[in-house]
Every structure is written in structure tokens, then in C-alpha cells.
């Protein structure tokens, strides 16, 4: 069970699932808990459960198949061990910096077009 902190609930659930993946808890069949199981186990809404799985997919730890559920990727246990929340935050910061640069470039292009 998760000890709730100030982080968003979906992130805390994703962090706990990541910890369990790193501990090889799901390697038997590679299937992650269903949304209903996550809801019951963590006492969260379906939205929180869905966002937690979405976070794991974004981190490259899971893939989902419509009607079948979410499954580990081939590298999930290794990724979960090396990519904790700090790594995810660093990656997000890199992505935000890249997006800011692209937005700045687009602004400059639009300004040039408006002048021309």
C-alpha cells in the first residue's frame, strides 16, 4: 500500500507499481494489475488508475492492448530499477526545455513572416 504524500495520486500509484516491477512482481506472466484491481488495491478512482498506467507507458515500462490490459515491456524490470522518479523528472525537464526552444523558434518564424 502507498503512504500518500503531496505528489499527485496517479504518480504515487505509478511509483509503487514501478517499485513492484523492479522487484520482479509481475514477471511471471508480464501482466500488470487491471484498472479495477488498481482501484481496489490503492483505493483510487479509475482516472487515477488509468493515469498511473499511462505514466508507466510513457516511461517505457508498459504497453496496453485494448480489452486485454497492460503488460510489461521486455526491458521493464531493468528500466524500473534504473529509472526512478528522479530520472522521469529529469527527462520531463529535458522535454520541456526542448519544447521551449521549439516554441521560441516558431515565434521567431511567425514574427519574420508577419514582417515580410
In sequence order, what DSSP letters do the residues of 28-96 get, joined into one string? TT-BPPPHHHHHHHHT--HHHHHHHHHHHHHTTSEEEETTTEEEE-TTHHHHHHH--HHHHHHHHHHHH
User: What whole-number distance in Å separates Cα of residue 101 and Cα of residue 82?
Assistant: 28
**The pLDDT value given to residue 11:** 92
Question: 20 with 2: CB under 8 angstroms?
Answer: no
Region 76-97: mean pLDDT is: 67
> Is the C-alpha dihedral spanning 26, 29, 35, 36 positive or negative?
negative
Nearest CA among 54, 50, 48, 59 for reference residue 84 = 59
Q: Per-residue pLDDT tens for 18-44?
A: 989 888 898 888 899 999 999 999 999
Query: Domain residues of the chain, as ranges?
Result: 1-80, 84-116
**The pLDDT value given to residue 92:** 72
| Full-model pTM | 0.64
Domain 1-80 has CATH 3.40.50.300: no
**The pLDDT value given to residue 84:** 58
Residue 83 pLDDT level (bands cut at 50, 70, 90): low
Amino acid at each position: 500500500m502507498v503512504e500518500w504524500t503531496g505528489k499527485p495520486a496517479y504518480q504515487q500509484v505509478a511509483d509503487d507499481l514501478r517499485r513492484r516491477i523492479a522487484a520482479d512482481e509481475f514477471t511471471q506472466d508480464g501482466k500488470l494489475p487491471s484498472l479495477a484491481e488498481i482501484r481496489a488495491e490503492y483505493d483510487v478512482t479509475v482516472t487515477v488508475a488509468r493515469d498511473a498506467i499511462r505514466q508507466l507507458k510513457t516511461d517505457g515500462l508498459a504497453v496496453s492492448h485494448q480489452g486485454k490490459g497492460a503488460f510489461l515491456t521486455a526491458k521493464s524490470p531493468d528500466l524500473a530499477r534504473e529509472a526512478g522518479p528522479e530520472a522521469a523528472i529529469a527527462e520531463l525537464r529535458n522535454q520541456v526545455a526542448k519544447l521551449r526552444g521549439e516554441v521560441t523558434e516558431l515565434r521567431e518564424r511567425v514574427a519574420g513572416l508577419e514582417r515580410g
